[in-house]
Amino acid sequence: MIKFSLRCAQGHGFESWFQSGAAFDSLKGRNLVTCPVCGGTEVEKALMAPAVAQGQQSAREHADTPPTPSSHSPEMAARLRELRAHVEAHSEYVGEDFPTQARAMYLGDIPDRPIYGEAHPSEAKALIDDGVPVLPLPFTPSRKAN
């Protein structure tokens, strides 16, 4: 996994995690990387500073820790809460069955519908490699958080 600092055409800065640099390029090429503030798809990588270890925590541990809504600005935290509420209100939580259902919808075996859930990184990579349109969510689903 790799975290990129991103900026949209409107100048909104944000961060997101991707399976790899190639996965980012693939998703961006299909207009699947969007700004969480304005929804724009004209997104570019922003200048990034390397992660620097603080105290006892190594740089590797720091780099592998995804950001939480509280680590963002108050505006970004509010937008992430809105996004989470929207996703949870307008899509079905399918839990660990997400990879199976996403693939079945992509292949036309079951009707399309908005879903979200969990996938092991290797499962998510396989979906992306196969062209299934999936994106990581920048939050933990409520059902998983409890």
The whole-model pTM stands at 0.50
Which secondary-structure segment (H or E) carries 115? strand 115-117
pLDDT at position 144 is 56
Dump pLDDT digits (tens) for 25-63.
888 889 888 888 888 889 998 766 555 555 554 444 444
Residue 103 binned pLDDT confidence (cut-offs 50, 70, 90): very high
Contact between residue 16 and residue 7 where contact means Cβ atoms under 8 Å apart: no
**Closest to 92 measured CA to CA, from 107, 113, 72:** 113
* Distance from chain centroid for Cα 17: 6
pLDDT at 54 (0 to 100):
56
Upper half-sphere CA count for residue 35 (Cβ side, 13 Å) = 18
